[in-house]
Structure 1
Amino acid sequence: MMVRKHSAAVVAVLAALGIPTPAQAATNPMPGDGRIVDGKVTESAPWAAQFYRGDGSASGPSCSASIIAVDWVLVADHCLTYGHTGKVFSVKVGSLKRGEGTLYQVERYLSKYDVTLLKLATPIQNPVIAPVADAVPTNGSEVEIYGWGKTCPVSQQCPPSPVLKQATLRIDGAAKDHKGGPALQLTHVTGNASNGDSGGPAWFGGKVVGVASTAGTRNAQYSSIAVAGTRQWIRSNAGV
């Protein structure tokens, strides 16, 4: 699911695993140029999680996510709230293939801007943790994004990627995420985000620095989780 900005209105598209089309939102973003647009297939990401709006028994995942503690998962807030009123959520971990992995139920969740912390009902067995960054990368830095998003532009109909993909983007400044919070303005280098990549991470220096919020044809806006206020909020609630 990824949110895109269309003219003056923001339109969110929740695809089977697409970035809730909030994974976008900049000055003029339109839904990503397809796939984790271009990019490549990920070979290893044991910290990756798939987010489900429900108990995981029906349909596919709605968003991409990251394991940041034994019982905490990081995702975008619009993945839970965009066009949805249910209160049951779950995640699958342990597989790069969409729809596969071990299922864990969400006990509760906390949100700040377009960032949400999911508290799992039971700890993940032998998890690989995605470390959260303590500093925002400088402009010009290149980050790596990950997601199971659609393999075509959000404006077109096509299935999401059956496997986790990744792409490189460049930080070109600051922006706002789908909920008005601080975000990284990212520009296509080898690819871009699309529907279903929402909630997925942006990595820099071996740590997570952003969460997919909105996207355009050649750019994306990732909620900045290393800014002081958000970073302290994550630490005080998830303990990491």
Structure 2
Amino acid sequence: MRIRNLLAVVASALVGAALTPSTAAAAPQQIIGGDTVSSAPWAAAVYSDGSFRCSGSIIASRWVLTAEHCIGGSMSVRVGSVHHATGGQVSAVSATYSQDGYLYDIGLLYLSTPISTTYVTLATSDPPVGSTNTIYGWGRSCLNCDVSAQLKTASVQVVSVRGRDAYEGPAIRSSPATGIAWQGDSGGPQFYAGQQVGVCSNSNGSTSQNYASIAASRAWIAAVAGV
């Protein structure tokens, strides 16, 4: 995920702040805590220049939703496998979309070939404060762990719907329940009541994380992707 001045912050305080896109590509990480996932037909592993970069979700046959700061390079996705390096269906990305001059950390990837699977349902409103939601993502499970081959999940509790994502756009802020998002969970979904409410944007790797609000960008997503 996009954690500012990551190396300096980790060296001084062992917590995260927002990654630049180039750092996100070099050091993908995953949920700290939580559990592995055995099935996620909607899950999308996002690649840049042949390397795993971020998490995402497929919302229609040719559209993957991820974080805007994950966009860059020659991109492709692997959809429907809980293993980011094997299985599922693979498609190149033929076009990318972001909104309002990087004011929201939500991006859309248009696939060169359609993928038939189970698509996520997008929420039209933010989850209530106090709700317990579910997050998903790939990468490392601690500061210095190796990248995990398998998708992870964790529960989080919403503390505010007035957080800010990596580009200062509206975001859902939550604290860890069974785990917390960390770098490279970027673009991964947060679910409430069966619908995706957020896109992973930033985290301090310890006490809180911010997911860009789907509701705040819902009209734009519909206009671009038609869903």
Bin of the TM-score, shorter chain as denominator length: 0.7 to 0.9
Is 1:199 aligned to 2:194, yes or no? no
Q: List per-residue Cα deviations over 1:123-167 (Å, max 9, x = no partner).
A: 11x2210110111111111110000121212xxx32122100000
Unaligned runs of 5+ in 2: none
CA distance in 2, matches of 1:233, 1:97: 30
CA distance in 1, matches of 2:111, 2:179: 32
TM superposition shift of 1:10: 4.7
Q: Find 2:68's aligned residue among 64, 77, 87.
A: 77
- Which letter maps to 1:118? L
CA distance in 1, matches of 2:145, 2:179: 18
TM-score (norm 2): 0.86
1:45–1:96 CA contact under 8 A, matched in 2: yes
TM superposition shift of 1:15: 5.0
CA distance in 2, matches of 1:11, 1:49: 20
TM-score (norm 1): 0.81
For the aligned residue pairs, the C-alpha RMSD in angstroms reads 1.9
TM superposition shift of 1:171: 0.8
Unaligned runs of 5+ in 1: 20-34
Q: Find 2:151's aligned residue among 134, 157, 164.
A: 164
Match of 1:218 in 2: 207
Match of 2:120 in 1: 130
Cα separation, partners in 2 of 1:39 and 1:172, compared to 1, 3 Å: same
CA distance in 2, matches of 1:135, 1:4: 28
Is 1:14 aligned to 2:4, yes or no? no
Is 1:36 aligned to 2:31, yes or no? yes
Match of 2:3 in 1: 3
Cα separation, partners in 2 of 1:3 and 1:146, compared to 1, 3 Å: same
- Which letter maps to 1:90? S
1:201–1:208 CA contact under 8 A, matched in 2: yes
CA distance in 2, matches of 1:176, 1:214: 9
1:17–1:148 CA contact under 8 A, matched in 2: no
2:18–2:203 CA contact under 8 A, matched in 1: no
Identity %: 42
Is 1:106 aligned to 2:97, yes or no? no
Higher relative CO (Cα under 8 Å, sequence separation at least 6) belongs to 1
Aligned length: 209
Match of 2:44 in 1: 49
